[in-house]
Amino acid sequence: MTARLELVGAPGFEPWVDAAVDIYLTALDRPPEIAPSRRASTREHLSEPGFRAVLVWEDEALVGFGYGYDDLPGQWWHDIVLAALTPELAKRWMARAFQVTEVHVLPGYQRRGLGRRIVSSLLDGVSRPTAVLSAFDQPTPARELYRSMGFVDVITGLRFPGNVEIYTVMAADLPLGQQRR
């Protein structure tokens, strides 16, 4: 079967928040106890400026998703990352960025190019000059995917408050594949 991608705004994503969080839990092997807080934070993201999402369907089942929004001062992730960057890197990458917040695919559908298609579809047509995201600071397939799409590490070894994992923050020029001079 061929997966079908659907680009939606907040109203189109809202009915699928619970299913998306279930995919997140499964894809990252997270405990079910965190589902309520993940659902709440995902619903909060729906009101962020520039919110857009990609839903991935196969045989009428949701098998993956990604979403993001305009990265702005006052947002939790933005403010933590901005404080960790040098002024030069902050200006270069975060002045007018789009934040790729979540990209997840069910394990049985991984390594089929769906993550690449999600990120490409999510960022296609975004009017901001750069995209930013965070990934686990270890050699994962996701991090390699982002690198292959033009993302570069701008911070490594970052620990977000309340998390035990260590992250890297990555950034890319938009449209993907174009280097800004």
132 vs 68, 71, 172, CA distance in Å?
10, 8, 7
Q: Which pTM was predicted?
A: 0.95
* In-domain check, residue 74: yes
Q: How many domains does the chain divide into?
A: 1
* In-domain check, residue 90: yes
Identify the sign of the CA torsion 14, 141, 144, 154: positive
Q: What is the pLDDT of residue 34?
A: 96
Exposure string of 152-170, with b = 16+ CB inside 10 Å and e = fewer, is eebbeebeeeeeeeebbbb
* In-domain check, residue 54: yes
* In-domain check, residue 179: no
State yes or no: pLDDT of 180 exceeds 80: no
Q: What is the pLDDT of residues 149-158, one digit of tens each?
A: 999 999 999 9
Per the structure, the complete domain to which residue 118 belongs is given by 4-173
